[in-house]
């Protein structure tokens, strides 16, 4: 199983719930044009490499989704 498959599967589980929550009202992290997602990972210390690769994989996948029009017309923004 590739990292892309794992990230895609994770996003497919989390994002529909998030978007439906945003549609029900003014939820934090949602605007008319963006879905803002936070990420917590190790960017220093012994696990630095893993954290950086996790960020790169998520960033690449979200860029792919954004190039295809985003989710409901909203672009995904990844914050660390």
* Most confident segment among 13-17, 47-51, 65-69, 75-79: 65-69
Closest CA to 61 of 14, 3, 1: 3
- Model pLDDT, residue 70: 94
Here the tokens at position 27 are: 């939820």
Structural domains in the chain, CATH included, are 3-79 (3.40.50.2300)
Question: Which region among 18-32, 35-49, 56-70 has the lowest average model confidence (pLDDT)?
Answer: 18-32
DSSP state of 58: H
Q: What is the pTM of this model?
A: 0.63
Name the percent of the chain in helix, strand, coil, to the closest 5. 50, 15, 30
């Amino acid at each position: 199983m590739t990292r892309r498959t794992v990230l895609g599967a994770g996003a497919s589980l989390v994002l529909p719930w998030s978007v439906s929550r945003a549609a029900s009202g003014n939820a934090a992290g949602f605007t008319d044009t963006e879905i803002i997602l936070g990420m917590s990972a190790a960017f220093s210390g012994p696990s630095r490499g893993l954290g950086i690769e996790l960020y790169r994989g998520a960033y690449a996948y979200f860029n792919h989704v954004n190039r295809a029009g985003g989710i409901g017309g909203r672009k995904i923004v990844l914050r660390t």
